[in-house]
Amino acid sequence: MVNRYIALSLFLIVYNGFLLGQRQDSLRILFYNVENLFDTKDDPLTQDEDFLPGKLMNWTHWKYREKLKNITRVITAVGQMQSPAIVGLCEVENDSVLYDLTRRSPLKAQQYHYIITHSPDERGMDVALLYQRDHVRLLQTAEYPIRFGNKPTRRSRNILHATFLTLSHDTLDVFVSHFPSRRGGQHQTEPARIDAASLLRSKADSLFSVRQHAHIIIMGDFNDHPDDKSLARILKAGIPALHPSDKQLYNLFLPRIKERNFGSYKFQGRWEILDQFIISGDFLSGESTMKIRNKEATVFRMPFLLQDDEKDGGKKPFRTNSGPRYVGGFSDHLPVYMDVIINY
C-alpha cells in the first residue's frame, strides 16, 4: 500500500511538472498609425495650430473624445476576446493624449500602461507603446534620434525601444518606428528613410551581440514597401526562411508584396504595405520558447474601418478627416497585428 502511494505521488509530481512545462501565453501585438491624435491645446514649441478649435481642422473637444473612442474600438476589436498585450502607436501628439486614452476613455478597463518618445518632430508627433503588466514586465526604455546625413538639421520622430521580460523569463526587445514621410517625392526623401533604417540595423546588431537568444520585434509605419532599399538592403529584413538565422531580421509582410488589393494604406488607388512587422530569426526557430503564430502577420481589415472609394473604386480606410472636413472615421491607415506564442 505504501509503495502504491509513493508511486502515485511520484506520478503526480512528474505529471504536474509536465503540465507546467506545457503552459502557454499568447501575446497579440498590434501596430496602428492613428493619424493625427492631437489634443485641443496649443503647444507653443510645435506646429500643431491646425488642430486647435477654430483653426483649419476646427479640432474641438468633442471631436477629440470621439477620436479616443474610435481608437478604443479598434484596439478592442483587434483583441477580440483578449486585448492585445502590446500596442504600438504612431502620430500621437504627447503623453497627455495617452493618459486620456488609457485613463479617461473606455480603454481604461484594459489597464494599459504606456511609454512615449519626446521627439523633435516639427508637428510634435511621437511614437508610443501600450502594454499590459500581467503579460510582460517592463525592464527599460530608450529612444534614439535619427541623424540625417544630407540634412543635419532635419527633425523627425525618434525610434522607441522597450525591453520586456516575458512569462518564459525571456527578454523581448520591441522597437516602434515612424520613418520620414515621402512628402516631396519618394526618390528625394529616400535618403532620410535609409538613415532611419541604418540606425535601426545598428541597434539590432548590438542586441545580437549581447543576447544569446535575441527576440526582437520592429514595428512601425516605414513609409516604404518591404522590398524598398531602406528595409530590404539597409535594415536587411528578408523573407521568412525555412531555416532562419538567429542573427538576421525577417519581414513578415515581404511574402505578400505581390498580392493585389492587400495593404494597410491606399495611395492613388493602390493598396500599399507601409505598416509592417520585422522580427529576429529566433521567433521562426523550431526550438525557440517564443514563436510567431503561423509565421505571419495580418492587416486588420474590418468593414467598419473602410468606406467606398468613389474616385478609384473599391474600398479605402475610413479616416477622421477628409481634408479639413470632419467625417468621423478612424485613420488613413489600417492596423496590423500578429500573435506571439510563449511556452514556459
In this prediction, residue 151 carries a pLDDT of 79
Superfamily (CATH) of domain 25-343: Endonuclease/exonuclease/phosphatase (3.60.10.10)
- Indicate the pLDDT class of residue 4, thresholds 50, 70 and 90: low
Quote the DSSP letter at residue 231.
I
**How much is the average pLDDT of 56-71?**
97
Q: Kind and range of the H or E element at 229?
A: helix 229-229
Residue 12: pLDDT band with limits 50, 70, 90: very low
Stretch 57-80: mean pLDDT: 96
pLDDT above 90 (res 82):
no
Q: How far is CA 153 from CA 51, 132, 143, 192, in A?
A: 25, 37, 18, 12
Q: What average pLDDT does this structure show over 25-33?
A: 96
CA 64 remoteness from chain centre: 22
Residue 27 confidence (pLDDT) above 90: yes
* Tens of pLDDT, residues 249-295: 999 999 999 998 999 999 999 999 999 999 999 999 878 899 999 99
Average pLDDT over residues 170-185: 95
**Looking at this protein, which amino acid is placed at residue 291?**
K
* pLDDT per residue as tens digits for the range 183-205: 989 999 999 999 999 999 999 99
Ramachandran area for residue 110 (φ above 0: left; ψ -120 to 50: alpha; else beta) = alpha
User: Average pLDDT in the 62-83 region?
Assistant: 94
Which H or E run contains 31?
strand 24-37
Q: Is there a contact between 98 and 114 (Cβ–Cβ < 8 Å)? A: yes
Model confidence at 11, pLDDT cuts 50, 70, 90, reads very low
Average pLDDT, the chain: 92
Residue 235's pLDDT band, with cuts at 50, 70 and 90, is: very high
Question: Quick check: 17 pLDDT over 50?
Answer: no
- Residues 57/47, Cβ–Cβ less than 8 Å: no
State residue 3's pLDDT score: 54
Q: How many CA atoms lie within 13 A of 9 on its CB side?
A: 6
3-state secondary structure of 76: helix
In one-letter notation, the amino acid at residue 24 is Q
Q: Strand 265-267 and strand 215-221: pairing?
A: unpaired
Q: CB burial class (10 A; 0-12, 13-18, 19+) of residue 235?
A: buried
Which among 115, 61, 60 is positioned nearest to 86, based on CA atoms? 115
Q: How far apart are CA 300 and CA 79, in angstroms?
A: 11
> DSSP per residue over 148-176, as a string?
PSS-TT---PPEEEEEEE-TTS-EEEEEE
- 90-122 pLDDT, tens digit per residue, is 999 999 999 999 999 999 999 999 999 999 999
- Mean pLDDT within 322-338: 97
pLDDT reported for residue 152 = 76
Confidence at residue 129, expressed as pLDDT on a 0 to 100 scale:
98
Q: Is the pLDDT of residue 21 over 60?
A: no
pLDDT score recorded for residue 22: 64
- What residues are paired with 340 via a beta bridge? 27, 292
